[in-house]
Amino acid sequence: MSALFPLPKALIGLTGALSLLVSLGGCQPGSYSSDDYSPQLAGDRPALSDIDWLTDPKSWEGPSTALLSSDAVTPITNTPPEPDLPRTVTSRDLAGDVEVTVERVERIIAVDLAGSLAQTVVGLGYGDRLVGRDISTQIPGLEDLPVVTGTGHAISPEAVLELRPDLILTDGTVGPIDVMLQLREAGIPVVFIRVAPGLDQPALQAHAVSTVLGQPELGARLGERINEEIDRVVATIADNTPADPSDRLRMVFLYLRGANGIYYLFGEESGAGELITALGGIDVAGEIGWEGLRPVTDEALVAANPDLILVMSTGLTSVGGVEELVTVKPAIGLTTAGQNLRFVDMADNLVLGFGPRTPLVLDALARAIYAPAQSPATR
């Protein structure tokens, strides 16, 4: 039997919290289309090391949008070896570990909230075996695959069964979980892959997926490549941002859903803190000991007083943009970020996705934060 990774207790709560946010945000079937998850691309631009970095990151006023230079995922090999199967692996179900035997992987469905599992399958070189996708999966070459999730990330069992998959990979953020278990009872191997969010996730996820596919060495190679790319971007950011902590931008990540009046602060266990630190910022949520994902009070937000607020693009749109946000949520307007309208937004399925495109996400965010004139707001 091949075990994947121990499931941190905190991750169980995080998975539930993410699913709760989806439902709270009104993301019910029909509210979003797949176009909402299509990443806008920045096109040709200079290398990150060659951009015109702000001398004083705190001096900029106004919003900006982080855009990827490319939405492609480059496979670690174009001629992957045939999966070594059958193989029994440990699925990290919510209720505990379950042994699942995988016999064939000719037809794969990989679904999660950010589309990172499908990215990983493509990165391993097995993208041609994907037969269905979730609405967050936007990768060149997969556009014509049938979508098996509703617009609220609810999986359609009928759509799945029609595609006759040999294997379903998921992480628990797409559901309902009962439907996934029913698909398993129908004879489809369903493997839950859970890795704690953060900059280590892409490589660990690559290893986990490759283990299920019977080629763990491919996962090791893909993970090494991703980590090297992340390290290069983080080093470039460190070389061009203030060394003195007092000069660094104080940042928080807010989840917004205007129609429902939802304002959640992403704290520990979300990966937001690691992202902010890699971007050369001060993680305010970590500084104040904010745990998990929960509603933020006006008092806490004003006391935190961030210089910059990271948000998901759809969330920012739902509140009518930055100027409307500081009006309907006066506490945000009282912060330094609110007074300077200093918000950076990024596509929902990218910013905390932590898949193979993570180096590109860091690159795009760094440009939006430290060279905002080259990354104007698009919303």
DSSP 35: G
Q: Alpha-carbon dihedral of residues 49, 351, 138, 78, nearest 10 degrees?
A: 50
- Whether 135 is in a domain gets the answer no
The residue type at 81: P
Residues contacting 274, CB < 8 A, separation 6+: 198, 199
Give residue 379's pLDDT: 65
Give residue 37's pLDDT: 52
Angstrom CA distances, 326 to 171, 220, 379, stand at: 35, 45, 15
Largest CA distance in the chain: 59
Q: How far apart are CA 80 and CA 95, in angstroms?
A: 34
Give residue 39's pLDDT: 56
- Whether 76 is in a domain gets the answer no
Residues contacting 221, CB < 8 A, separation 6+: 76, 77
- Whether 145 is in a domain gets the answer no
Give residue 269's pLDDT: 76
How many domains does one find in the chain?
A: 1
- Whether 33 is in a domain gets the answer no
Domain that holds residue 299: 40-71+243-374
Give residue 294's pLDDT: 81
- Whether 364 is in a domain gets the answer yes
- Find the CATH number of the domain harbouring 265: 3.40.50.1980
Beta-carbon neighbour count of residue 152 at 10 Å? 18
- Whether 261 is in a domain gets the answer yes
Nearest to 109 by CA among 7, 209, 222: 209
- Whether 279 is in a domain gets the answer yes
In angstroms, the first-to-last Cα distance of the chain is 49
Q: How far apart are CA 258 and CA 255, in angstroms?
A: 10
Over its length of 379 residues, how does the chain's per-residue pLDDT go in tens digits? 444 443 343 443 444 445 444 444 433 322 334 445 555 777 788 999 999 999 999 999 999 999 999 889 999 999 999 999 999 999 999 889 999 999 999 999 999 999 999 999 999 999 999 999 998 898 999 999 999 997 667 899 999 999 999 999 999 989 899 999 999 999 999 999 999 999 999 999 999 999 999 999 999 999 999 999 999 999 999 999 999 999 999 999 999 987 677 889 988 778 999 999 999 999 999 888 887 788 888 998 999 999 999 999 999 999 999 999 999 899 999 999 999 999 999 998 899 999 999 999 999 999 999 999 988 887 6
- Whether 93 is in a domain gets the answer no
